[in-house]
């Protein structure tokens, strides 16, 4: 006889809580407000007409939550008010921000279909340096708000 268990929703544990949703909304707003967002990706889903946060908040939060959940699966976890966290500019922090950059870029580009999957690695190589700078500057800002990578 087969053992039938309830199928998992695919959402990483801990990311379904209201606390995590609020934190991820704050992270989305931090990414939205980063000045380099407008300059570094000219064809993103949110940049062409520079719409307001009010107009794009819901869609943008979904985009950021999707990328953050992919990071959670890979062990890249943001948490608020941690005692044990990854220090800014440490080797682990640089690795996590580089991987998060890739996950965010990939999520955004697949949702917007801006980049064909056959050429996304080539496109990433061209855009990666600026995108990592963008993500790292937001992570530094988040650190000041006590939102950090879990160690």
- List the alpha helices (DSSP H) in 1-151: 18-33, 36-40, 53-73, 91-112, 120-144
Average pLDDT of the residues of the chain: 85
Q: Determine the length of the chain.
A: 151
- For residues 64 and 20, is the Cβ–Cβ distance under 8 A? no
Residue 31 φ/ψ region, left for φ over 0, alpha for ψ in the -120 to 50 degree band, beta for the rest: alpha
Percent of the chain past pLDDT 90, that is, above it, reads 64
pLDDT of 96 higher than 70: yes
CA distance 105 to 135: 10
Among the listed residues 102, 101, 107, the one whose alpha carbon sits nearest the alpha carbon of residue 134: 101
pLDDT of 2 higher than 90: no
* Mean local confidence (pLDDT), 112-133: 87
pLDDT at 61: 94
Domains of the chain: which residue ranges? 18-149
pLDDT of 45 higher than 80: no
Residue 132 is encoded by which pair of tokens?
Answer: 């990592």
- For residues 55 and 46, is the Cβ–Cβ distance under 8 A? no
pLDDT at 38: 53
Higher pLDDT: 51 or 77? It is: 77
């Amino acid at each position: 006889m087969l053992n039938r268990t309830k199928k998992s929703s695919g959402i990483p544990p801990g990311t379904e809580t209201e606390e995590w949703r609020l934190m991820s909304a704050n992270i989305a707003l931090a990414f939205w407000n980063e000045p380099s967002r407008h300059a570094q990706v000219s064809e993103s889903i949110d940049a062409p007409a520079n719409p307001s946060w009010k107009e794009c908040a819901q869609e943008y939060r979904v985009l950021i939550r999707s990328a953050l959940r992919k990071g959670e699966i890979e062990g890249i976890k943001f948490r608020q008010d941690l005692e044990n966290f990854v220090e800014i500019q440490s080797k682990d922090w640089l690795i996590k921000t580089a991987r998060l950059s890739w996950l965010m870029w990939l999520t955004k580009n697949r949702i917007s279909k801006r980049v064909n999957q056959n050429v996304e690695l080539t496109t990433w190589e061209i855009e990666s340096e600026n995108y990592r700078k963008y993500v790292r500057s937001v992570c530094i800002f988040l650190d000041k708000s006590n939102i950090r990578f879990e160690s």
